[in-house]
Chains A and B, each alone.
Chain A
Amino acid sequence: MSEEREPPPLPGAAQTVFPEPQDAEDLFVSAASAMESPEAACLSAEDISPSSNGPRDDDPDDLFAEATEEVSLDSPERQPILSDGPSPAITPVTPVMISPRVDVFDRSPDQDEDEEENRDTFDIQISVSDPEKVGDGMNAYMVYKVTTKTSLSIFSRDEVCVKRRFSDFLGLYSKLASKYMHMGYIVPPAPEKSIVGMTKVKVGKEDLSSVEFVEKRRSALERYLLRTVKHPALLKDPDVLQFLESSELPRAVSTQALSGAGILRMVNKAADAVNKMTIKMNESDAWFEEKQQQFENLDVQLRKLHASVESLVCHRKELSVNTASFAKSAAMLGNSEDHTALSRALSQLAEVEEKIDQLHQDQSYADFYLISELLGDYVRLITAVKGVFDQRMKAWAKWQDAQVMLQRKREAEAKLQYANKPDKLQQATDEIREWEGKVQQGERDFEQISKNIRREVGRFEKDRVKDFRVVIIKYLESLVHTQQQLIKYWEAFLPEAKAIA
């Protein structure tokens, strides 16, 4: 078995570029597990001869047509290929399908996103830090420092620091959404506004809840930016670059709820909702139907999970408070106990409980920042995904409407032919040509958005798997730490209890 895998001669394939080693361990093992499945065999057949599964792109340079098709049917996920690592476990045929990676920045966005993503994610670091309050009273706002460290050439410097406020982030999202959503790109949503939270901060309450609110927001903004730049198309977007690099940013007034733009947004949202109900799409593609259903289910379950985790966070905080309170009362009891050894043991118990209360508090922070926030992010992300499916529906509707229009124009022309009105006839013929063009454009747009969505969903699912895996493992590790500490504390206490004579 060869160490190097030979990619089959696919048209346009230059050379293989392999993803970063950090990914390797992760992806490889799941590749192995995916390969074990009997489906592995049939996958190979599929991609050598790109089977039609929805709109097929005849562009030979688009190597991802096969990749997306693979995702649609049997395999749980597609795996990029790794050059190192034990190859024997993998049947030579299967890996091949995804192997032709093209090393390009100058190809069309469709193709290079995947390996670019793998390189880029590690070449850019963004942090949001140092929240500062600017101004006073109800006009006050928080300003955050956004630091970008990168070696990518699209950035003008290695390290940039800018100051941004919350509405700037909202403005960025707004621009990106209007530019890309209708093309089927999943644009990561910005964190939500919170009137209550912000008012507390504005009013100047320095208490724990406003500190926590600011921290929660800071963390959410950081995650938002990281997700945004992870998207290869968004990373190169001039608005994103401007956001990260330029020291002055025009104030995004249109993000205010009651601004003209805000009202327009609300009207559009309402119109969309109505449209969604009235458009009955003939879904010819099972992939889309299946995916939509899956996202519906995922949405329901994630919301449920989110609610349970929020409840857990709350109860653990309560537990921490009650444990601290009990610790105090145990200390008091120890003080009044007149048997010396027992008194000492009770004081020790109080100390143990105090330490445990801190442990519970730390654990509740982990519950929150690791799991709860992740779930919240994904609930919002899935709304964006559903939005993108809706955009496809709109594109289909537009295409259908154009076809209807074309039909009408043709009928009109036919009537005019009988009526024998030469000048009107010319106009009618022109209109027919116009609408023929529109129909073609509509079809192209629809196919394009469908293709984009397939790719986007594939990328999204891959990210989702990674995100959840990483976070859940981190979370379990935090639970392990808690138990280890508990063992330490009780082991220290036991001899004290036994010493009571």
Chain B
Amino acid sequence: MMQEGLDDGPDFLSEEDRGPRAVNVDLQTDATLQVDISDALSERDKVKFTVHTKSTLPNFKQNEFSVVRQHEEFIWLHDSFVENEEYAGYIIPPAPPRPDFDASREKLQKLGEGEGSMTKEEFTKMKQELEAEYLAIFKKTVAMHEVFLCRVAAHPVLRKDLNFHVFLEYNQDLSVRGKNKKEKLEDFFKNVVKSADGVLVAGVKDVDDFFEHEKTFLLEYHNRVKEASAKSDRKIRSHKNAADDINRIASTLYTLGTQDSTDLCKFFLKVSELFEKTRKIEARVAADEDLKLADLLKYYLRESQAAKDLLYRRGRALVDYENANKALDKARAKNKDVLQAETTQQVCCQKFEKISESAKQELIDFKTRRVAAFRKNLVELAELELKHAKGNLQLLQSCLGVLKGDT
């Protein structure tokens, strides 16, 4: 019942949110193909994204058009890349995470249940808080879906993918149903096999220094990013909790201010007002840290996984190539099925070399992107922290001035 106000409600994206956001990725926006999410609608169970494309490429019927897509369709697109052998040598842009409003919905529901136990002001305040939180999560999921599309559009090869074009242009439902239980189970086993395989492949020492270094680096980096991401989430949650406490303190101080029979009443009211304002700043600090730091880490957690996957595929191809070599030698020795063995060996060789070549460039690009994204976000984080601290300081000092002058 709380959610009715939020469902297919007003347009959540303000003007500043439109346009290519490229939050965690430094992308060149190319005039030949520009993709963004111009609008989004939240319904009970799903989010509907309006994908807007501007292109001068001849493949499209129009220069500018929009379609509506849901999360499952993004996943379908991502999976189609992963399953395409042609793209084995590329870092597949990580799929955006599923929009998750469960926690937020639960909180709103609890608030609704507890409505009787708090004052009207408190209730309205908390409702506004939770709605703002909901909105923040919503904006984030939009950004993450958009980044995925932008990465694809920026990639020299992937942008030409047919499925991608269909995704962008086909204005009917893609009828991509979510995976059913059987398929999910298959996926699960595939992953188990892959990780076992991955260990095997990782054990094979690479002749190529570059890849050997990358392998070591990525394994460690991925784990450390995971750690840092989890820790930053926890830190930000504590920060939000503290801000909530300050909110309650401000309310109680206000009540005290209205009730007190001594001069303290003015005092309390002033301090209550101060805490209301500083609390908002604290909440913004937590939100900005979330956006600039936590999201950055989460994104690179996914990208580093995608890079690991690339290395895995190359490793797999290498093993296949080496096996094909051995098979060829055996065939030559026995003088049996030599031609077949030769063909297989050649195919494996070509596959391996193709992957190696593009993988090298991909990994170099990955580093460039990563450094640029971290730089941008760390600078913005520091600037925002400074802005908020200065704002806070000013509020505190001006209030202190009034309080001290008053006494």
Measuring CB to CB, which residues of chain A are less than 8 angstroms from any residue of chain B? 25-26, 29-30, 33-34, 76-77, 294, 297-298, 301-302, 304-305, 308-309, 311-312, 315-316, 318-319, 322-323, 325-326, 328-330, 332-333, 335-339, 341-342, 345-346, 349, 461, 464-465, 468-469, 472-473, 476-477, 479-480, 483-484, 486-487, 490-491, 493-494, 497-498, 500
Residue of B nearest to A476 (CB): B400
Q: Could you tell me if B235 and A30 are in contact, using CB atoms closer than 8 angstroms?
A: no
Which residues of B have CB within 8 Å of A34? Answer: 263
CA distance A214 to B213 in the complex (A): 54
Which residues of B have CB within 8 Å of A336? Answer: 217, 220-221, 224
Query: Which of B230, B235, B253, B393 has the most A CB atoms < 10 Å from its CB?
Result: B235
Query: Which of A323, A330, A335, A490 has the most B CB atoms < 10 Å from its CB?
Result: A490
Q: Please name 5 further chain A to chain B contacts, defined as beta carbons within 8 Å, in addition to the given A338-B213, A342-B375, sorted by A numbering.
A: A297-B259, A322-B237, A479-B396, A483-B396, A497-B375
Q: Could you tell me if A333 and B224 are in contact, using CB atoms closer than 8 angstroms?
A: yes
Q: Chain B 156-175, CB within 8 Å of chain A: the 1/0 string?
A: 00000000000000000000
CA distance A298 to B383 in the complex (A): 42
Q: Could you tell me if B255 and A487 are in contact, using CB atoms closer than 8 angstroms?
A: no
Which residues of A have CB within 8 Å of B399? Answer: 476
Which residues of A have CB within 8 Å of B253? Answer: 305
Q: Could you tell me if A468 and B264 are in contact, using CB atoms closer than 8 angstroms?
A: yes
Q: Chain B 230-270, CB within 8 Å of chain A: the 1/0 string?
A: 11101101110110011011001101100111111101000
Given known A326-B234, A329-B228, A468-B264, contact A480–B396 (CB-CB < 8 A): yes
Q: Could you tell me if B249 and A329 are in contact, using CB atoms closer than 8 angstroms?
A: no
Q: Could you tell me if B232 and A345 are in contact, using CB atoms closer than 8 angstroms?
A: no
Which residues of B have CB within 8 Å of A487? Answer: 386, 389-390, 393
The answer, among B245, B261, B386, B400, for a CB contact under 8 Å with A76, is B261
Q: Could you tell me if B385 and A333 are in contact, using CB atoms closer than 8 angstroms?
A: no
Residue of B nearest to A364 (CB): B242
Number of A-B residue pairs having CB atoms within 8 Å of each other in the complex: 177
Which residues of B have CB within 8 Å of A477? Answer: 400
CA distance A308 to B385 in the complex (A): 26
Which are the 8 A-B pairs with shortest beta-carbon distances?
A312-B245, A319-B238, A497-B378, A500-B375, A326-B231, A483-B393, A322-B235, A329-B228
Q: Could you tell me if B245 and A308 are in contact, using CB atoms closer than 8 angstroms?
A: yes
Which residues of B have CB within 8 Å of A308? Answer: 245, 248-249, 252
CA distance A459 to B192 in the complex (A): 75
Q: What's the nearest-Cβ distance from chain B to residue A26, in Å? A: 6
Q: What's the nearest-Cβ distance from chain A to residue B379, in Å? A: 5
Q: Could you tell me if B267 and A483 are in contact, using CB atoms closer than 8 angstroms?
A: no
Residue of B nearest to A371 (CB): B249
Q: Could you tell me if B245 and A301 are in contact, using CB atoms closer than 8 angstroms?
A: no
CA distance A301 to B248 in the complex (A): 12
**Residue B403 CB within 8 A of the other chain:** yes
The answer, among B264, B274, B381, B390, for a CB contact under 8 Å with A465, is B264
Q: What's the nearest-Cβ distance from chain A to residue B288, in Å? A: 12
**Residue B382 CB within 8 A of the other chain:** yes
Q: How many residues of B contact A (CB 8 A)?
A: 62
The answer, among B224, B246, B390, for a CB contact under 8 Å with A332, is B224
Q: List 10 A-B contacts (CB under 8 A).
A: A29-B406, A315-B238, A315-B241, A336-B224, A342-B374, A483-B392, A486-B389, A487-B386, A490-B389, A500-B378
Question: B315-340: which residues lie under 8 A (CB-CB) from chain A?
Answer: none
CA distance A302 to B253 in the complex (A): 9
Residue of A nearest to B383 (CB): A494
**Residue B407 CB within 8 A of the other chain:** yes
Q: Could you tell me if A315 and B235 are in contact, using CB atoms closer than 8 angstroms?
A: no
Q: Could you tell me if A322 and B378 are in contact, using CB atoms closer than 8 angstroms?
A: no
CA distance A484 to B396 in the complex (A): 11
Q: What's the nearest-Cβ distance from chain A to residue B176, in Å? A: 36
Which residues of B have CB within 8 Å of A500? Answer: 371, 374-375, 378
Given known A323-B235, A487-B390, contact A333–B228 (CB-CB < 8 A): yes
Q: Could you tell me if A315 and B242 are in contact, using CB atoms closer than 8 angstroms?
A: yes
Which residues of A have CB within 8 Å of B206? Answer: none
Q: Could you tell me if B400 and A311 are in contact, using CB atoms closer than 8 angstroms?
A: no
**Residue B225 CB within 8 A of the other chain:** yes
Which residues of A have CB within 8 Å of B242? Answer: 312, 315-316, 319
**Residue B133 CB within 8 A of the other chain:** no
Query: Which of A304, A336, A500 has the most B CB atoms < 10 Å from its CB?
Result: A336
Q: Could you tell me if A473 and B228 are in contact, using CB atoms closer than 8 angstroms?
A: no
CA distance A477 to B401 in the complex (A): 11
Q: Could you tell me if B262 and A461 are in contact, using CB atoms closer than 8 angstroms?
A: yes
CA distance A477 to B399 in the complex (A): 10
Q: Could you tell me if A490 and B382 are in contact, using CB atoms closer than 8 angstroms?
A: yes
Residue of B nearest to A332 (CB): B224
Q: What's the nearest-Cβ distance from chain A to residue B175, in Å? A: 42
**Residue B367 CB within 8 A of the other chain:** yes
Q: Could you tell me if A301 and B256 are in contact, using CB atoms closer than 8 angstroms?
A: yes
Given known A312-B245, A323-B235, A337-B221, contact A480–B371 (CB-CB < 8 A): no
**Residue B14 CB within 8 A of the other chain:** no
Q: Could you tell me if A322 and B245 are in contact, using CB atoms closer than 8 angstroms?
A: no
Q: What's the nearest-Cβ distance from chain B to residue A302, in Å? A: 8
**Residue B197 CB within 8 A of the other chain:** no
**Residue B404 CB within 8 A of the other chain:** yes
Residue of A nearest to B222 (CB): A336
Q: Could you tell me if B248 and A76 are in contact, using CB atoms closer than 8 angstroms?
A: no
**Residue B92 CB within 8 A of the other chain:** no
Q: Could you tell me if B263 and A77 are in contact, using CB atoms closer than 8 angstroms?
A: yes
Q: Could you tell me if B386 and A329 are in contact, using CB atoms closer than 8 angstroms?
A: no
Q: Could you tell me if B403 and A472 are in contact, using CB atoms closer than 8 angstroms?
A: yes
Question: B259-288: which residues lie under 8 A (CB-CB) from chain A?
Answer: 259-265, 267, 271, 274, 278
Q: What's the nearest-Cβ distance from chain A to residue B362, in Å? A: 16
**Residue B227 CB within 8 A of the other chain:** yes
Which residues of A have CB within 8 Å of B403? Answer: 469, 472-473, 476
CA distance A222 to B379 in the complex (A): 48
CA distance A312 to B271 in the complex (A): 16
Q: Could you tell me if A322 and B375 are in contact, using CB atoms closer than 8 angstroms?
A: no
Which residues of A have CB within 8 Å of B396? Answer: 476, 479-480, 483
Q: What's the nearest-Cβ distance from chain B to residue A298, in Å? A: 7
Which residues of B have CB within 8 Å of A29? Answer: 405-407
Residue of A nearest to B249 (CB): A308
Given known A76-B262, A301-B256, A487-B386, contact A469–B271 (CB-CB < 8 A): no
Q: What's the nearest-Cβ distance from chain B to residue A448, in Å? A: 24
Q: Could you tell me if B228 and A491 are in contact, using CB atoms closer than 8 angstroms?
A: no
CA distance A341 to B392 in the complex (A): 31
CA distance A33 to B402 in the complex (A): 13
Which residues of A have CB within 8 Å of B407? Answer: 25-26, 29-30, 469
Q: Chain B 354-376, CB within 8 Å of chain A: the 1/0 string?
A: 00000000000001001100110
CA distance A298 to B265 in the complex (A): 12
Residue of B nearest to A338 (CB): B217
Q: Could you tell me if B217 and A315 are in contact, using CB atoms closer than 8 angstroms?
A: no
CA distance A474 to B229 in the complex (A): 36
Given known A76-B261, A301-B256, A469-B264, contact A309–B249 (CB-CB < 8 A): yes
Which residues of B have CB within 8 Å of A25? Answer: 407
Given known A483-B396, A497-B379, contact A472–B390 (CB-CB < 8 A): no
The answer, among B232, B239, B374, B382, for a CB contact under 8 Å with A493, is B382
Which residues of B have CB within 8 Å of A497? Answer: 375, 378-379, 381-382
CA distance A330 to B235 in the complex (A): 12
The answer, among A294, A305, A316, A341, for a CB contact under 8 Å with B249, is A305
